[in-house]
Each structure stands twice: as C-alpha cells, then as structure tokens.
Amino acid sequence: MSEKLKEAIGTILYFGLVICVTLLFIKYVAQRTVVDGQSMEPTLQNADNLIVDKISYRFSDPERFDVVVFPPYENADKTYYIKRIIGLPGETVHIDTEGNCCQRDMGRKLFNPLLWGGPPAKWCLERTSIL
C-alpha cells in the first residue's frame, strides 16, 4: 500500500470514530435543547439554549427545585417539557390562593413564586436533566 492510501484510510477511520463518539455522547450523555415559551421565567428565558445532562438521575434521585427536561407521554413530535420540581414522591403539595407553595403534610412553606419568581436561580440550575 502506498503512503497516501494508508494516510487516507487512517483519516477516514479517525473521522468515523469521532462521529461515532459524538453520536453516542448525544444519545446517552447530553443534548442541546432550546427553551420555547415563558413558563420558566425568570430562571430560563424564551429561546435560551441548554445543554441537558441525561445521566445524573441514573445515579441519584431528583431533588426539590431541580429543573428537569422530559418528554410528554406518547412523545410523537419530539417536544420536551422543562419544569421545576416542587414536590417529591410521597409529598402532598398545596398552592393556596396567594400563590404560596406548601407541603400539605408538614405545613412548611416552600416558596411564593408570585412574589419573587420562584427559588433562587442557583438552586434551579444546579442540575438539569432528562428523566
């Protein structure tokens, strides 16, 4: 084989490997998502770009105030929802007429999103994941 042919084969194999690793990364580790709508303001704005972590919830459970990205039931059009977790499994959350969000069982006030836009942004953006 000539040197040019060996170099061409090496280059093709290199780019093929890069493409395979990139596709595996996008499929199983992270993906780019664009925010469409204002339901998460002020934490996330319309047209914000996010890199969504797909593996953290395989190793730990979601926590209160995490922002999660998830597909709706029977996701036919590849649309995802972006929401903040305010209640954990086994909890009952009550939102009163003033917008206060409380754990019904404990009577503990979690936050009032109408007064200050939700929990501090550092709580909301620590982890963003697809469930």
Catalytic site positions: 39, 83
Q: CA–CA separation, 72 vs 28, rounded Å?
A: 19
